[in-house]
Amino acid sequence: MLLPRIHALPTGSSSPAIATIETALSALRLSTPAVKTTSIAVRHASHKAQGAANSAKDGAGKRLGAKKSGEQYVIPGNIIFRQRGTKWFPGDNCAMGRDHTIYATQPGYVKYYKDPLKHPKRQYIGVVFERAQVLPQPPHAVRRRRLGMLAHQMETPLLESSLQGDLMASGSSAQEGKVVVKDKRTGEVVRATPTLRPGYQYRAANWEIGRAAERAGIRVTPFKPGNRFLAWRKAAVRKAKNAERRGLTRRR
């Protein structure tokens, strides 16, 4: 097998051909200017400076303003006025939400009005029960209620003196407006007319309530403070009953 032989080019200036080639290359190297490779990075803006696509947005309207006109009938929960801020304030039978929305709290007719005695510059929205009513109401006037009722003092009815059952009322005390109920068998006072207690409560006296068990013949074991053995025995019985009840429930 014949291998190709690689002959190295002769070095040195002894060969005239090689000298001629080196001269030509050096001349070409001097005549060609050196090319400098530079990389220039250009940063573009992340938001366009002009153009309709990047201008300020104009969202949809929030539908603010009056939703119910004057003397229009509303029911509780109906929105009367939507606003930003407190241009209008809630008046009679109205309330304001957290976004300053005024809505009705009672059924009636809408009234837009001013109340100089309450505030000289504020405007109010109220609801009245009758279309002919006018707001604001005069000071110290009778306040209208629902169903057209007015607040007035009620007459105190007389207590009935005739009682039925095993109880009887004493005649002298019944005529004076007080009823005292006694037991026919023992003659003991069972119940008297409740008196007005603190807090505007009509209830029986504490001694009457406390003797109810005694009159019924119920005996209660007196409490002995410090009897830990009795307390432990009661707790053990209660826990045993609860365990038995749970076992019966699981079997079902």
Is the pLDDT higher at 47 or at 202?
202
Number of domains observed in the structure of the chain: 2
Would you say residue 250 lies in a domain? no
Strand partners, 202: 196
Q: Tell me the average pLDDT across 117-132.
A: 94
Q: Tell me the average pLDDT across 66-83.
A: 96
pLDDT of residue 99: 95
Indicate the range of 35-39, 82-86, 121-125, 182-186 predicted with least confidence: 35-39
Helices of type H across the chain? 16-31, 171-175, 206-210, 212-215, 228-251
Domain endpoint, select from 137, 155, 175: 137
Would you say residue 82 lies in a domain? yes
pLDDT of residue 166: 41
- Residue 122 pLDDT grade (very low, low, confident, very high; cuts 50, 70, 90): very high
pLDDT of residue 56: 72
Would you say residue 9 lies in a domain? no
- Residue 144 pLDDT grade (very low, low, confident, very high; cuts 50, 70, 90): confident
Cα 192 to the chain's mean position, in Å?
47
Which domain covers residue 106, as residue numbers? Answer: 65-137
CATH of the domain at 97: 2.40.50.100
Same domain for 133 and 192? Answer: no
Tell me if 48 sits within 8 A of 54, measured CB to CB.
Answer: yes
pLDDT of residue 180: 67
Q: Is the pLDDT of residue 105 over 60?
A: yes
Radius of gyration of the chain (CA): 52
Same domain for 129 and 175? Answer: no
In degrees, rounded to 5, the angle at the alpha carbon of residue 249 between the alpha carbons of residues 248 and 251 is 65
Q: pLDDT, tens digit, for every residue of 147-193?
A: 666 666 667 655 444 444 444 444 444 444 566 667 667 776 666 66
Mean pLDDT rounded to a whole number for the chain: 77
Q: pLDDT, tens digit, for every residue of 7-21?
A: 555 555 557 888 888
Same domain for 178 and 130? Answer: no
Same domain for 126 and 180? Answer: no
pLDDT of residue 81: 97
Would you say residue 91 lies in a domain? yes
In angstroms, the CA 223 to CA 216 distance is: 20
In angstroms, the CA 151 to CA 169 distance is: 35
pLDDT of residue 7: 52
